[in-house]
Amino acid sequence: MTVRFDDTPGLQSKLFALNWLLPVLAGLLGMVGVLAIFSATDGVLGRGAMQHFVRMGAGFGVMMIIAMVDIRVWYGLAYPAFLGALVLLVGVDLIGVNVNGSQRWLQLGPIRIQPSEIMKPAVVLALARFYHDLPSWRTSDPIGLAGALALIGLPMLLVLRQPDLGTSLLIGATGVVIIFLAGVSWRVISLASVLAAVSLPIVWQFGLKDYQRERILTFLDPSRDPAGASYHITQSKIALGSGGVSGKGYMQGTQRQGGYVPENTTDFISTVIGEEFGFIGSLALVGLYIAIITVCFRLSLQCKAVFSRLLILGLTTTFSLYIFINLGMVMGLLPVVGVPLPLVSYGGTVILVVMSSFGLMLSAHLHQGSTLPKSE
């Protein structure tokens, strides 16, 4: 496969042509995170807020670099990246670091990486390329379906083995969305829906570990485990609800001060925002996310190449699922699974992955003039 760079415009004109709305909104979100972490750590800058700020800066740099690189490079790296992520996942399975009963990390020298996080964008890249290369009439035929299912199923299984049900489902959901966007026929969709409904009890019985079943049951009936997970959710709802319309004021949250909501710098960071800024603050937060997602949709619609469109929408889907699962969990709509609120929660990996995704989207949009090979 040949990739031509001769029509690459200069860096300056690229910076000029870049869609700056997305980086600005992402930066805003990161600042919301810094403020929320600052409050959650009782106003001590060095206990997270500073780190978050620095990481956002680093993530910004990574995003810019990725955005500047021609989309054809990423197109070319789609399968190698996917294969690399697969190898890492297998590596986790063989020599991973076991923390709290699940084997999710890989120790590479001084750094510890979580290959399942890398797998999320990698799956999107691979699927986008797969559908880009696939003649559209094959989308719903056995070969097309089998290829797509293999690209989704393999990482899902490996992640499930860690075990990490949340990430596995996230990969699956993103994959399904891409298949849907790629134009799979409604006949296949309805057939798959029926199949899924039938297989659900079987998965429940044989596919899940005890603690995973327990977690879902607790979600359905909180009285099963009052001091454990549902305590977490109850306290989180109290924090949000007691914020009322206008909130208790920045740094004034009593639930936060009392330390009633565990993990409130990471997965439960939205309780700090909701308690201290109230419904207005929550709306602003959700509004910011909707703005980002809207920008992403617009970016995808402005692209013509299937790869670019599916890549942007796939990454947007992953991003949106993070938000939905996180907020749904914090508000007691979904069971507690460890999913952070992107760019607001404390944690370096997610910043890196999300900012890289934004980089890929920007690259796809910036280089929409670049011609990608297409077989049909």
* 8 A C-beta contact, residue 285 and residue 347: no
**319 is an interface residue for another protein by CB under 8 A:** no
Q: CA angle, 303 as apex, 298 and 309 as ends, to 5°?
A: 85
Give the span between the Cα atoms of 74 and 127, in whole angstroms. 13
**199 is an interface residue for another protein by CB under 8 A:** no
**258 is an interface residue for another protein by CB under 8 A:** yes
Write out the two tokens for 259. Answer: 């330390």
Whose Cβ is closer to another protein: residue 265's or residue 320's?
320
Residue holding tokens 């923390």?
Answer: 99
Task: Give the one residue of 116, 167, 235, 318 binding another protein; rule: CB under 8 A.
Answer: 235
Q: How far is the CB of 142 from another protein (least distance, A)?
A: 13
Task: Give the one residue of 237, 250, 291, 338 binding another protein; rule: CB under 8 A.
Answer: 237
- Of 39-47, 82-90, 94-102, 281-289, the segment contacting another protein by CB under 8 A is 281-289
**348 is an interface residue for another protein by CB under 8 A:** no
Torsional sign, CA 298, 122, 323, 114: negative
Site string for another protein, 139-168 (x = CB under 8 A): --x---------------------------
**217 is an interface residue for another protein by CB under 8 A:** no
Torsional sign, CA 66, 68, 71, 73: negative
Instruction: Say which DSSP state 88 is in.
Output: H
Question: Total binding residues for another protein by CB under 8 A?
Answer: 56
Whose Cβ is closer to another protein: residue 85's or residue 178's?
178
**244 is an interface residue for another protein by CB under 8 A:** yes
Residue 340: CB atoms within 10 A of its CB come to 22
**369 is an interface residue for another protein by CB under 8 A:** no
Find the binding residues for another protein in span 36-95 (CB under 8 A): none
**376 is an interface residue for another protein by CB under 8 A:** yes
Q: How far is the CB of 350 from another protein (least distance, A)?
A: 19
Residue holding tokens 């997305």?
Answer: 22
Task: Give the one residue of 39, 174, 230, 255 binding another protein; rule: CB under 8 A.
Answer: 255
**196 is an interface residue for another protein by CB under 8 A:** no
* Residue in 187, 166, 184 with CA at minimum distance from that of residue 130: 184
Whose Cβ is closer to another protein: residue 154's or residue 331's?
331
Task: Tell me the C-alpha to C-alpha distance, in Å, between residue 29 and each of 47, 109, 152, 329.
Answer: 19, 32, 30, 20
**207 is an interface residue for another protein by CB under 8 A:** no
**20 is an interface residue for another protein by CB under 8 A:** no
Q: How far is the CB of 63 from another protein (least distance, A)?
A: 22
**297 is an interface residue for another protein by CB under 8 A:** yes
Task: Give the one residue of 116, 265, 266, 282 binding another protein; rule: CB under 8 A.
Answer: 282
Long-range contacts of 181-190 (CB under 8 A, 24+ apart): 181/309, 181/310, 181/313, 181/314, 182/127, 182/131, 182/134, 182/139, 182/148, 182/306, 182/310, 183/136, 183/139, 183/140, 184/139, 184/140, 184/144, 184/145, 185/139, 185/140, 187/140, 188/140, 188/145
Q: What does R_g of the chain's alpha carbons equal in angstroms?
A: 21
**328 is an interface residue for another protein by CB under 8 A:** yes
The three-state secondary structure class of 246 is coil
Strands 111-113 and 97-99, by their bridges, are unpaired
Binding site for another protein (CB under 8 A): 135-137, 141, 177, 180-183, 235, 237-245, 254-255, 257-260, 274, 278-279, 282-283, 286, 289-290, 293, 297, 300-301, 304-306, 309, 313, 317, 320, 323-324, 327-328, 331, 333, 371-376
